[in-house]
Amino acid sequence: MPQNRITDDGQSDRPRRELPLSLVIHQLSLKIDAQGRALVARHSDLTLPQWRVIRVIGLEAPDGSTALRKLMGFDKSQFSKTVNQLRARGLLTVSAHPEDGRQLQLSLTEAGRAVLDRLGPVLDARNDLFLQALAPEELKVIRSALSKLGRAAEITDFSKGDDE
C-alpha cells in the first residue's frame, strides 16, 4: 500500500479535493474575528460587536439603525443588545431619526468618541497589515471578487427550473 509523502511545505503529495470556497471564507472570517477580539480585548473592555458598532458609527457610513444593523450583518436581537450595552455605558446616544420615525439615530457620545480615537489606530494598523499582504492589483481583484460573492450569497434558490 503506497504511503503518503509529506512535502517540505508540510502538505501531502496525495491529490485531494480543494475545500469548498464557502468553507475557506468561513475559516478566514473566524481567524479575522479571533484576531479582532484579541486586539479589542488588549486595548479596551469592549466586545468585538460593541467595537464594530462604535467604529461604523464613527465612520458615519449608514444613516439610521436599520441600515447600520444590515451593514454589520447583525440580527435584530444582537444589534439591540449591543446598542443597549453601549448606551448603558454612556458610549452612544439613541434618538428618533429626523426623517424616518421607524428608525433610530445613533450617535457617539464624547466618551464613545474617545474610545474610537483610542482603538481606531490599533485596528487601522491591522487593516494596513491586511492591505500590505496584497499587491495593489490583488486588492482590486479581491474587492471585486468579494462584491460578486456577496451578491451570489444572496441567492437562495438553486433549482434549475426542472421538475425533478
Domain-embedded: residue 159 = no
Domain-embedded: residue 146 = no
- Return the amino acid letter for 136: P
d(CA 48, CA 52): 6
DSSP state of 53: H
Q: What integer pLDDT is reported at residue 16 of this predicted model?
A: 64
Domain-embedded: residue 145 = no
User: Would the pLDDT of 42 be above 80?
Assistant: yes
pLDDT-derived band at 129 (thresholds 50, 70, 90) equals very high
Region 132-155: mean pLDDT is: 94
Domain-embedded: residue 97 = yes
Q: What integer pLDDT is reported at residue 164 of this predicted model?
A: 45
User: Would the pLDDT of 151 be above 90?
Assistant: yes
Q: What integer pLDDT is reported at residue 87 of this predicted model?
A: 97
- Return the amino acid letter for 51: W
Which range, of 57-61, 108-112, 141-145, averages the lowest pLDDT? 57-61
Domain-embedded: residue 37 = no
| Residues 96-128 pLDDT 10s | 888 887 888 899 999 999 999 999 999 999 999
* Number of domains forming the structure of the chain: 1
Domain-embedded: residue 25 = no
